[in-house]
């Protein structure tokens, strides 16, 4: 072998290893979900809402963890918030568990809707993302902004980092060239932002699908809740949007 090749080989190997070390393959992310309850509850001139508006906090914060490997993610409730519980009904999607398998393109999600638990088995949702040149830093990582429209009319902005290989994100959001660390849904006055990213070894057994609930699909669950909430008018529509994310 040529002596020049022997000299260059260790250098090239070091360069490859160093380059790969810049990408995060597995770990744990904490997300803080923030909802503007006052804005979300506003439906025209609803007198009932106006009467108790001052009795509830303007914002609600909840925390979720996302365990991830290159091919799987598990989004589930995290640490408890220090905020006082609302005297009114619990907001939807506060106990969601979402398992995503990017290799099989399948998802299993556990969702609590009032007194009924649903266990959704379905294909991963398809999002038509549009990537922009805008950037921002989230949890110490540089992210690029993308956007899409879901459920025909709901605009969603997402911020993803290509430093994390997994194409996952909070809730069912996925499909960008890297991990989604921020999601903003203006129409629902709701956002998710990563507060920290922890690099750690994730055992295969830690990322498993939820098992409790009535077996259905996304469309099956939507059909059921549409019947239950059709008399709730615009407020019911907003509630359904929150459940179906």
What confidence tens digit (pLDDT) does each residue in 125-153 have?
A: 999 999 999 999 999 999 999 999 999 99
- List the strands of the sheet with 190-199, edge to edge: 130-138, 141-150, 154-161, 179-185, 190-199, 27-36, 59-68, 72-77, 97-101, 106-113, 116-123, 214-216
Phi-psi region of 90 (alpha: psi -120 to 50; beta: other; left: phi over 0): beta
Residue 11 is predicted with a pLDDT of: 39
Percent over 90 (pLDDT), the chain: 65
Asked if pLDDT for residue 227 goes beyond 90, the answer is no
What tokens does 231 get? 């008399």
Q: What angle do CA 177, 182, 184 make, to 5 degrees?
A: 115
């Amino acid at each position: 072998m040529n002596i020049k090749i022997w000299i260059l080989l260790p250098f090239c190997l070091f360069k490859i290893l160093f380059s790969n070390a810049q990408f995060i393959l597995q770990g744990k992310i904490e997300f803080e979900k923030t909802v503007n309850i006052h804005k979300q509850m506003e439906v025209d001139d609803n007198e009932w809402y106006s009467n108790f508006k001052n009795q509830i906090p303007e914002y609600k914060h909840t925390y979720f963890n996302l365990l991830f490997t290159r091919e799987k993610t598990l989004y589930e409730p995290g640490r408890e918030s220090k905020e006082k519980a609302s005297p009114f009904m619990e907001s939807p999607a506060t106990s969601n568990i979402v398992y995503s398998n990017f290799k099989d393109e399948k998802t299993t999600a556990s969702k609590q809707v009032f007194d009924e638990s649903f266990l959704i088995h379905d294909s991963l949702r398809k999002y038509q993302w549009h990537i922009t040149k805008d950037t921002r830093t989230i949890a110490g990582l540089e992210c690029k902004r993308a956007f899409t429209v879901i459920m025909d009319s709901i605009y969603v902005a997402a911020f993803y980092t290509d430093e994390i290989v997994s194409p996952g994100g909070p809730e069912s959001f996925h499909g960008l060239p890297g991990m989604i660390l921020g999601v903003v849904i203006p129409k629902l006055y709701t956002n998710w932002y990563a507060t920290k990213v922890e690099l750690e070894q994730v055992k295969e057994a830690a990322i498993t699908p939820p098992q409790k609930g009535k077996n259905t699909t996304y469309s099956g669950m939507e059909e059921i809740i549409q019947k239950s909430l059709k008399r709730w008018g615009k407020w019911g529509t907003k509630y359904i949007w929150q459940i179906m994310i």
